[in-house]
Amino acid sequence: MINEKEILIDNLQINYKIAGEGEPLLILHGWGGSSDSWSEVQEILASQGFKVIVLDLPGFGKSKSPSFPWGVADYSELVLNFINKIGLEKVDLIGHSFGGRISIKFAVLYPERLRKLILCASAGIKHPLNLFQLIILKISIVGNFLFSKRLFKRYKDIARNFFYTLLRHKDYAKAKGVMKETLKKVLEEDLRPELCQIKANTLLIWGKRDKALPLEDAYLMKENIPQSILEIIPGASHTPNLEFPEKVAGIVLHFLRS
């Protein structure tokens, strides 16, 4: 049975779901998601002897948004404060997409609080812009000047959303308030140099058909994280936890028990 709870962390009301008994396993969802996106996997893992906790990260699900734009380190500190407050010494950690960014940073900053790390279609690698994106960026710089003028100022947000969509940051167009600036801050950080600092045994899970974060990112992470293995799910795209929950749970269980 999954129980839903709330806790106050850093003056933010944080929602989370907990199920099962045993070694603690913490799951961090992707951008735009919530704890709901991991419910099926959570139930399977909880039935196999783990205490599975899934956060609604600040700004998502039922958790409150931060009062100022956060970076990846801010979210990692929130995770640390959360596990401290609920009385956990060490956790196994799963991070999906944006949650993977946070998990990478957590593994580097707080290695003593981590047993094993699982990165599922993890974000964190910043790629150079291609020619089309560079052209769009140049146009957007001119547009930013143009839309700062009084006559066009009312259309500035519409134009900005349009340019971010062309730059393949569709999440920016959907984000509101402080979360727009949070996303900008998060996207600016390249975690590639930090991968080699991860000390925990690491499992990478990736969908072969992932178009949001290509398989080349998985191979790059595998190459740079010292103690890592890669499992590719042939029919999955960017959300294997939703598409193949039983497969994902099975891969996770095998890794945690090995």
Looking at the DSSP bridge assignments, the partners of residue 60 are none
Mind listing the pLDDT tens digit for each residue in 33-62? 999 999 999 999 999 999 999 999 999 999
> Mean of the pLDDT values across residues 3-9?
97
Q: How many CB atoms lie within 10 A of CB 85?
A: 13
> Mean of the pLDDT values across residues 109-130?
91
Mind listing the pLDDT tens digit for each residue in 140-167? 444 454 445 454 445 445 545 555 554 4
pTM over 0.85: yes
- Structural domains in the chain plus CATH codes: 3-127+189-257 (3.40.50.1820), 131-184 (no CATH)
> Mean of the pLDDT values across residues 203-212?
96
Mind listing the pLDDT tens digit for each residue in 17-35? 999 999 999 999 999 999 9
At 170, the pLDDT band (50, 70, 90 cuts) reads low
- Tell me phi and psi for residue 130, to 5 degrees: -80, 175
Q: What pLDDT, on a 0 to 100 scale, did the predictor assign at position 177?
A: 86
Pairing mode of beta strands 3-9, 12-19: antiparallel
- Tell me phi and psi for residue 18, to 5 degrees: -135, 140
Higher pLDDT, 159 or 127: 127
Q: Based on the number of CB atoms within 10 Å of its own CB, is 89 exposed (0-12), middle (13-18) or buried (19 or more)?
A: exposed
Q: What pLDDT, on a 0 to 100 scale, did the predictor assign at position 37?
A: 97
